[in-house]
Structure 1
Amino acid sequence: MTIKKVLLSPLWALQLLTGAKSFLDNPLIGSRRLNARGLHVKRVKLAASLCAWRRRRLAHKVRPEWRAAFDRDGFVMIPNVVPPEQFPTLRRALLAYEGPAREMRQGDAITRRMAIDPAMLAAIPALRTLLERKDIVALFHYAASFRTTPLHYIQTIVSHDGSNEADPQETIHADSFHSSLKAWLFLNPVAGDEGPFTYVRGSHRFTPERLAWEHRRAQADPHTIDRLSARGSPRVTEAERTSMNLPAPEALAVPGNTLVVADTVGFHARGASARPSERVEIWSYARRNPFLPWLGGDLLSLPGLAERRVNWLWALRDKLEKRIGQPWKPVGVRRSIEDVQK
Structure 2
Amino acid sequence: MNPARLLLSPLWLAQLATGAKNFSKNPIIGSHRLNTRGLHAARVKRAHALAWKRRERLARLIDPADREAFDRDGFVAKRDFLPADQFARLRDAVLAHRGPARDMVQGDTITRRFAIGPELLREIPEARALLQNPDWRGLIRYAGSFDQEPLTYIQSILSHVRTAAPDPQTHLHADTFHPTVKAWLFLTDVAEDEGPFCYVPGSHRLTPERLAWEREMSIKAPEGVDRLSSRGSFRVSRDELPGLGLPEPRAFAVPANTLVVGDTFGFHARGPSVRPSTRVEIWAYGRRNPYLPWTGLDPLSLPGIAERRVGYLWGFRDRWKRFVGQPWRDVGDKSPTER
Q: Distance in 2 between matches of 1:71 and 1:225?
A: 30
Which residue in 1 is equivalent to 2:40? 40
Secondary structure of the residue that 2:58 maps to in structure 1? helix
Let me know the Cα RMSD of the aligned residues. 0.9
Q: Distance in 2 between matches of 1:166 and 1:222?
A: 23
Question: With structure 1 as the length reference, what TM-score do the two structures score?
Answer: 0.97
Aligned AA for 2:60? H
Deviations 1:272-331 (Å, cap 9, x if unpaired)?
Answer: 011111100001000000001111111111111101000110000000112222111111
Q: Distance in 1 between matches of 2:108 and 2:334?
A: 21
The yes-or-no answer on 1:90 pairing with 2:90 is: yes
Q: Distance in 2 between matches of 1:141 and 1:221?
A: 31
Which residue in 2 is equivalent to 1:54? 54
How many residues get paired?
A: 339
Matches within 5 A, 1:63-212: 63-212=63-212
Q: Distance in 2 between matches of 1:110 and 1:38?
A: 38
Q: Distance in 1 between matches of 2:279 and 2:126?
A: 21
Q: Distance in 2 between matches of 1:323 and 1:8?
A: 15
Which residue in 2 is equivalent to 1:279? 279
The CA deviation at 1:224 is 3.2
Q: Is the 8 A contact 2:176 2:233 kept in 1?
A: yes
The yes-or-no answer on 1:333 pairing with 2:337 is: no
Secondary structure of the residue that 1:176 maps to in structure 2? coil
Which residue in 2 is equivalent to 1:268? 268
Unaligned runs of 5+ in 2: none
Q: Distance in 2 between matches of 1:136 and 1:102?
A: 25
Aligned AA for 1:280? V
Deviations 1:224-264 (Å, cap 9, x if unpaired)?
Answer: 32110000000002232221010011111000000000000
Deviations 1:53-92 (Å, cap 9, x if unpaired)?
Answer: 0000000121112111111100111111110122111111
Moved more, 182-191 or 328-337: 328-337
Q: Distance in 1 between matches of 2:48 and 2:294?
A: 14
Deviations 1:137-182 (Å, cap 9, x if unpaired)?
Answer: 1111101100110000000111111323121100000000001010
Q: Distance in 2 between matches of 1:10 and 1:97?
A: 47
Q: Distance in 2 between matches of 1:282 and 1:90?
A: 10
Q: Distance in 2 between matches of 1:85 and 1:100?
A: 27
Which residue in 2 is equivalent to 1:296? 296
Percent of aligned positions with the same letter in both sequences? 58
Which residue in 2 is equivalent to 1:252? 252
The CA deviation at 1:186 is 0.4
Which residue in 1 is equivalent to 2:317? 317
Q: Distance in 2 between matches of 1:86 and 1:48?
A: 37
Moved more, 174-183 or 235-244: 235-244
The yes-or-no answer on 1:228 pairing with 2:228 is: yes
Unaligned runs of 5+ in 1: none
Q: Runs (4+) of structure 1 moved beyond 2 Å?
A: none
Q: Distance in 2 between matches of 1:294 and 1:83?
A: 34
Secondary structure of the residue that 1:215 maps to in structure 2? helix
Question: With structure 2 as the length reference, what TM-score do the two structures score?
Answer: 0.98
Secondary structure of the residue that 1:142 maps to in structure 2? helix
Secondary structure of the residue that 1:332 maps to in structure 2? strand
Secondary structure of the residue that 1:315 maps to in structure 2? helix
Moved more, 190-199 or 221-230: 221-230
